[in-house]
Amino acid sequence: MNSFFVTTAISYVNGKPHLGHAYEAIACDVLARYKRLSGVNTFFLTGTDEHGEKNERSANKEGLSPQEFTKINSDHFEDMTNYLNISNDYFIRTSSESHHIASKALWNKLVENNEIYIDKYEGWYSIVDETFINEDEIIDGPNKTKLGPSGDKLEWLEEPSYFFKLSKWTNKLLEFYKENPDFIKPKSRRNEVINFVKQGLNDLSISRQRLKWGIKVPNDNKHVMYVWLDALTNYLTAINYPDISDKKFKCFWPADFHVIGKDIVRFHAVYWPAFLMSAGLEPPKTIFCHGFLNINGSKMSKSLGNVLSPKDLVEKYGLDQLRYFLLREVPFGQDGNFSHTQITQRINNDLANDYGNLSQRVLSFINKNCSSQIPEYFELNELDQKYINKFKSLNKSCDKLIFDNLEFHNVLIEIWSCISSANQYIDEQAPWKLKNNNNKRMETILYLLACSIKYLTIMLQPFMPSSCSLILDQLAVENNNRSFNELNNFLSLKPGTQLPKPTGIFPRFTD
Ligand code: MSP
């Protein structure tokens, strides 16, 4: 059986989750559910990134230990996986013992392979981004302060540090990118990374002396590991590294997709493959970088007070409505916008009018006119065949759209084009006109429409799991008949099956 390993970035825990975190988790959830429904052995990982100076300082301010502080906030993120119906198989916390073991093991491997040396670090450091900032990226702030690219105040750091020999990987990384064109997606990000690496890489400082809240460097307790080395290792910890003979590790490494935001490309597409190759491990297959969500056209930020809480949005609009909106509205990979007007339009037009109305109309009609049973079908004419053919290649074309470039919005557009065909078919065939004079034809039309709803709903399960499950219940589709396997046979509903009384699933949204 083939396998699939997908991860989100692990979130910083210096606050509660916002819409950006939810966006990434939902996208990965769709990928994981899609693969499971295709019968693929899937592992989906998400979690929290807990070490580093930022958390140590925030904990101090609140009079908490870093352990207490990070536990409280990590719980908010784990809670988000529940209220967003995220089907992750594992939730990793980098403060966990197994993660410390894995990170130390990776460090030891790098030492063993002569990839680490000790020296002194001097330079400007961004605590907000947990990264050293190159001279050419520094912005002059007021009163001779130095600011990082995200506008935060930089600190001068001077201390003994271990270094990773990143510079020697410059050419090997360029060769690797050339041989693996799918490693960084979308293409624009790939070009950005290649241009950056082409300028030559400097060795990377990978330990801190003044920091306590982190993973101790093996055999040198005075240092803790650079938080990004520790954080990236989470992808290995979750599949039982350092035991590379473990079944899970063998099955799932290299990961298929690390899905991340555009702000952390360099860590994933430059440092991570270099660390892995240095440790004799394969890099992941694809790093996919999505864009940022803005709110009513502005960047989400605490200081602007426009940070949207996914929990509030679920309460206001409904979970599946939010999941659908986020993946339909914004082409994954590009920046996008969240606005009340846009989500309301999507809920009312796409969900209530198009999809919801299709299923409600057909199921109510069957309920009233076919004794609440799946109707029989009789002779199919050319028009019916033409209609059925529209569905034939849908699953295959969506497969390609989703896994080549994570084109969630295009998958939904394809599905909606079949929903429109179904709505057009019902209007043209007008089964209500046949009630008294051609019952067989009426039943045939309704049967084909019920099969279409089943087909479309099976395909939509990864996007809107709860609502689709309710619609499949209304079609009396058994739980074990809901996988993508069912799509091989369009006419799979059994005539005569008793159906429950239908109820509307997608209400209109009114303020
Ligand atoms: N802890 C690091 C990741 C370590 S992965 C080994 C981190 N954490 S984060 O909490 O700042 O971000 C988590 C993810 O959310 C990242 O992929 C980031 O790009 C994404 N997003 C943060 N803000 C976002 C938006 N406004 N919109 C979309 N995604 C955003 O980075």
317, 347 Cβ separation under 8 angstroms: yes
455, 490 Cβ separation under 8 angstroms: yes
For 334-369, what is each residue's pLDDT tens digit? Answer: 999 999 999 999 999 999 999 999 999 999 999 999
What integer pLDDT is reported at residue 266 of this predicted model?
A: 97
485, 39 Cβ separation under 8 angstroms: yes
Closest ligand 1 atom to the C-alpha of 259? Answer: 17
The count of C-alpha atoms lying within 13 angstroms of the C-alpha of 345, restricted to the half-sphere facing its C-beta, is 7
Ligand 1, atom 30: nearest CA belongs to which residue? 20
**Rounded CA separation 28/8 (Å):** 7
Q: What is the largest CA-CA distance in the chain?
A: 90
Nearest to 194 by CA among 125, 273, 278, 136: 273
Helix runs in 393-438, H state only:
394-405, 408-429
Closest ligand 1 atom to the C-alpha of 293? Answer: 27
8, 292, 338: residue to mutate for ligand 1 pocket, most atoms within 8 A of CB: 292
Closest ligand 1 atom to the C-alpha of 299? Answer: 26
Give Cα separations from 86 to 25, 29, 55, 80, 465 (angstroms).
7, 6, 26, 8, 10
Domain ranges of the chain: 340-488
Give the Cβ contact number of residue 483 at 10 Å.
Answer: 14
What integer pLDDT is reported at residue 203 of this predicted model?
A: 96
Residue by residue, what is the 3-state secondary structure of 464-506?
Answer: CHHHHHHHHHHCCCCHHHCCHHHHHCCCCCCCCCECCCCCCCC
The DSSP output letter for 89 is S
Nearest to 5 by CA among 240, 293, 270: 240
Closest ligand 1 atom to the C-alpha of 232? Answer: 6
**Rounded CA separation 67/95 (Å):** 8
Instruction: List phi, psi (to 5°) of 231.
Output: -65, -45
Ligand 1, atom 29: nearest CA belongs to which residue? 20
344 CA from centroid of ligand 1 (Å):
26
Instruction: List phi, psi (to 5°) of 41.
Output: -70, 110
Provide the CA 388 distance to its chain's centre, in angstroms.
32
The model's confidence at residue 224, banded by pLDDT at 50, 70 and 90, is: very high
226 CA from centroid of ligand 1 (Å):
18
What integer pLDDT is reported at residue 53 of this predicted model?
A: 85
Mean pLDDT over each residue of the chain, to the nearest integer: 96
211, 56 Cβ separation under 8 angstroms: yes
- Read off the pLDDT of each residue in 154-168 and give the average, rounded to a whole number: 94
For 302-314, what is each residue's pLDDT tens digit? Answer: 778 889 999 999 9
3-state helix, strand, coil in the chain (%, to 5): 50, 15, 30
- Read off the pLDDT of each residue in 404-418 and give the average, rounded to a whole number: 97
For 420-469, what is each residue's pLDDT tens digit? Answer: 999 999 999 999 999 999 999 999 999 999 999 999 999 999 999 999 99
CB-neighbour burial class of residue 424 (10 A; exposed 0-12, middle 13-18, buried 19+) = exposed
The model's confidence at residue 1, banded by pLDDT at 50, 70 and 90, is: low
21, 299, 300, 337: residue to mutate for ligand 1 pocket, most atoms within 8 A of CB: 21
For 80-95, what is each residue's pLDDT tens digit? Answer: 999 999 999 999 999 9
Ligand 1, atom 19: nearest CA belongs to which residue? 261
Closest ligand 1 atom to the C-alpha of 300? Answer: 26
8, 12, 237, 300: residue to mutate for ligand 1 pocket, most atoms within 8 A of CB: 12
50, 264, 307: residue to mutate for ligand 1 pocket, most atoms within 8 A of CB: 264
For 384-396, what is each residue's pLDDT tens digit? Answer: 999 999 998 899 9
Q: For Cα atoms 379, 383, 386, give the angle at the middle one, nearest 5 degrees.
A: 110
11 CA from centroid of ligand 1 (Å):
6
471 CA from centroid of ligand 1 (Å):
34
Name residues contacting ligand 1 (CB within 6 A).
9-12, 20-21, 23-24, 49, 231-232, 234, 260-261, 263-264, 292-293, 300
9 CA from centroid of ligand 1 (Å):
6
Give the Cβ contact number of residue 122 at 10 Å.
Answer: 11
List the beta strands (DSSP E) in 53-115: 90-93
Give 337's contacts (C-beta < 8 A, 6+ positions apart): 293, 294, 295, 296, 297, 329, 330
List the beta strands (DSSP E) in 50-115: 90-93
154, 125 Cβ separation under 8 angstroms: yes
Beta bridge partners of 158: 122
Ligand 1, atom 25: nearest CA belongs to which residue? 20
**Rounded CA separation 45/484 (Å):** 23
10, 53, 130, 227: residue to mutate for ligand 1 pocket, most atoms within 8 A of CB: 10
Assign domain 340-488 to a CATH class: mainly alpha
Q: Is 391 helix (H, G, I), strand (E, B) or coil?
A: helix
Closest ligand 1 atom to the C-alpha of 261? Answer: 19
Closest ligand 1 atom to the C-alpha of 21? Answer: 15
Comparing 296 with 400, which gets the higher pLDDT? 400
208, 52 Cβ separation under 8 angstroms: no
69 CA from centroid of ligand 1 (Å):
19
What integer pLDDT is reported at residue 303 of this predicted model?
A: 76
308 CA from centroid of ligand 1 (Å):
15
11, 50, 296: residue to mutate for ligand 1 pocket, most atoms within 8 A of CB: 11
